Amino acid sequence: MKFTTESLRPFGSVVRIGHAGRTRRSRPTAAIGVPALLLSALALAACGSDAPPEETVSAETGMREQPAAEPLPDAAAVAERLADYAPFTLTADLGDLGDDQRRMIGLLIDASKIMDDLFWRQAWGDGHEEWLADLPAGPVRRFARINYGPWDRLADDRPFVTGVRPKPAGASFYPPDMTVEEFEAWDQPGKDGLYSLVRRDAAGDLELIPYHEAWAGELGRAAELLREAATLAQDEGFARYLGLRADALVTDDYQPSDMAWLDMKTNRIDVVIGAVETYEDQLFGYRAAYESFVLLKDMAWSDRLSRFTAFLPELQRGLPVPERYKAEEPGSDSDLNAYDALYYAGDANAGAKTIAINLPNDEEVQLAKGTRRLQLKNAMRAKFEKIMQPIAEVLIVEEQQDHVTFDAFFANTMFHEVAHGLGIKNTVDGSGTVRAALKDVASSIEEGKADVLGLYMITELHERGELGDTELMDYYTTFLAGIFRSVRFGASSAHGKANMVRFNFFADEGAFTTDETTGRYRVDFEAMQAAITKLSAKILTLQGDGDYEGAKTFTDTLGVIRPELADALARVNAADIPVDVRFEQGREVLGL
């Protein structure tokens, strides 16, 4: 799965936000049978498992129900929506890569463009280039490219082009006139599979067409490109994966390549390519959409992470709670790394941009090999620079703004992920898991734990001289700024609520204070440290005790936006800060 924002978390990384995001580690089984699962780009974040909002879909046609009389936005309004996506050039340092590796990246980008074309067909239908050419040049056409169709992905798929139908919940995976009833009555094995289209045959009956038959030519070409790339690969494991992935594209059998992907550990270049996520099928959540990420692993972060992970046992023993609340061995069940993204295509590039990924989705592969979490560093930097920093400029006191840094933002994100390994998974009375005991508040408490223990880890490692020449104040101030970003869209969602709990707890402890003249916020270093200790103890105790009532009360009393903060957020909303980013990307910007 993937993540676009870290709304659950005060600092950043992500949900479609990766492990920084929702922790649904498997195919969205919960969505199956639910008429529509709208994974709102903005609510999608973070490591929580809160259900996304549903939207109204007609049971008759599977069409989204939209007010008939709502006027279309005019060109000026579309231009404004376009401005909500700040442009960002997607590059990374390829300086030390040899010619073969650079050629290989070029081939992976070429294969990705085929995924982009196939995603257009899944989301909108055939003939998109002709359709785009007919649109007025300028903002409308550019906005259509960002949205892969005439529906605004950040506004409930509202149409922004004259004469188009509402977006079918099943996108173009199903015939537009198919009813849910007809599908359900259809006696067809494999109709709920990941890799097929539903179409009508000459007699008007439903038929199932596997992707590898529907798009044999395109997928064959993409497979050839991957095989050619494999001959250039330096890393043996990566070459093997590329060969198997090529096979997957032309057979729709992804499992061997998913296994091979988890087996490889030393490759610096990576690619996630093929039919992967099922969010685009909002009718049933069955069908996978084509996408691609071409990636370059950040080797420095990989080294740092393995060094930090070695401190987990020592940090576990140092947690500010009695022995029984930290009796388990800390650990991590999946591999976590940082990457720079070199190219996004298809589903990955539509609307809000993914900043973290947790794959594969195949539960059999997960059981055999675990999962991999990929944090996309330059994509996070894009959101940091274009969205979070401008928010900090409105809400953080001037003399502390230099403490809001990307390095701290990224470190906070990574430590959040690692901190999930601290604490305990079972209640101290031995009656079962913390997750089972805390029921509906389990996820938000667990995310709160990872947030605050991430700060605890940073504080401890900084004291041991492990964080180099950085200031603790950077991490704390950036943490505060991250909360503002996450609650920008309100505290009504479970994610927003979880963030408010953190914010209000720290505010009540005096860790943040408000400047009376400017209404901006200031971090108090000493009070912040004391609050980190106190909140860590509070959450670890609620978890260890399996105290559902206590956890619920804690969440409900603190999970509110108080008037003073509401005023501050209104100032942010008045400041015309972008809501997401779009990438300028490709061979040219990479110099390939």
Interacting residues with Zn ion (CB under 5 A): 47, 450
- The DSSP element (H or E) to which 261 belongs, if any, is helix 255-263
From 509, 265, 356, 326, select the one nearest 12 (Cα to Cα): 356
Helix pair angle (472-487, 442-463), 10° resolution: 160
CA–CA dist 386, 4 (Å, integer) = 14
Cβ closest to Zn ion, residue 219 vs residue 315: 315
Residue 65 burial by CB count (10 A; 0-12/13-18/19+): exposed, middle or buried?
A: exposed
Residue 223 and residue 246 in contact, taking contact as beta carbons nearer than 8 Å: yes
CA–CA dist 293, 582 (Å, integer) = 15
345 forms beta bridges with 292
Q: Least CB distance from residue 417 to Zn ion, whole Å?
A: 6
Cβ closest to Zn ion, residue 111 vs residue 450: 450
Cβ closest to Zn ion, residue 5 vs residue 400: 5
CA–CA dist 15, 447 (Å, integer) = 12
Cβ closest to Zn ion, residue 350 vs residue 418: 418
Q: Are strands 2-3 and 580-584 parallel, antiparallel or unpaired?
A: unpaired
Cβ closest to Zn ion, residue 271 vs residue 539: 539
Cβ closest to Zn ion, residue 358 vs residue 378: 358
**Which letter does DSSP use for residue 400 in this model?**
G
SS (H, E, C) 58-105: CCCCCEECCCCCCCCCCHHHHHHHHHCEEEEECCCCCCCCCHHHHHHH
Cβ closest to Zn ion, residue 371 vs residue 585: 371
| Paired tokens of 272 | 């996630």
CA–CA dist 487, 471 (Å, integer) = 26
Cβ closest to Zn ion, residue 219 vs residue 450: 450
CA–CA dist 473, 144 (Å, integer) = 42
Q: Least CB distance from residue 109 to Zn ion, whole Å?
A: 31
| Paired tokens of 202 | 């000459």
CA–CA dist 64, 173 (Å, integer) = 15
Distances 281 to 39, 347, 561 between C-alpha atoms, Å: 11, 11, 34
Q: Least CB distance from residue 477 to Zn ion, whole Å?
A: 21
Q: Least CB distance from residue 375 to Zn ion, whole Å?
A: 12
What is the distance of C-alpha 199 from the center of its chain?
Answer: 31
Residue 118 burial by CB count (10 A; 0-12/13-18/19+): exposed, middle or buried?
A: buried
Helix pair angle (442-463, 494-508), 10° resolution: 50
Amino acid (1-letter code) at residue 574: A
- The DSSP element (H or E) to which 550 belongs, if any, is helix 548-558
Cβ closest to Zn ion, residue 97 vs residue 498: 498
Q: Least CB distance from residue 479 to Zn ion, whole Å?
A: 14
Residue 45 and residue 17 in contact, taking contact as beta carbons nearer than 8 Å: yes
Q: Least CB distance from residue 538 to Zn ion, whole Å?
A: 18
Q: Least CB distance from residue 373 to Zn ion, whole Å?
A: 10
Residue 282 and residue 295 in contact, taking contact as beta carbons nearer than 8 Å: no
Whose tokens are 């529906």? That residue is 151
Q: Least CB distance from residue 443 to Zn ion, whole Å?
A: 9
Cβ closest to Zn ion, residue 424 vs residue 450: 450
List all residues 6 or more positions away from 351 whose beta carbon is below 8 Å from its beta carbon. Answer: 41, 146, 147, 148, 153, 154, 580
| Paired tokens of 485 | 């970003």
Q: Least CB distance from residue 583 to Zn ion, whole Å?
A: 25
Cβ closest to Zn ion, residue 47 vs residue 161: 47
Residue 297 and residue 272 in contact, taking contact as beta carbons nearer than 8 Å: no
Cβ closest to Zn ion, residue 47 vs residue 455: 47
Q: Least CB distance from residue 554 to Zn ion, whole Å?
A: 18
Q: Is the backbone of residue 549 left (phi > 0), alpha (psi -120 to 50) or beta? A: alpha
> Which residue is at the shortest CB distance from Zn ion?
47
Q: Least CB distance from residue 333 to Zn ion, whole Å?
A: 13
List all residues 6 or more positions away from 556 whose beta carbon is below 8 Å from its beta carbon. Answer: none
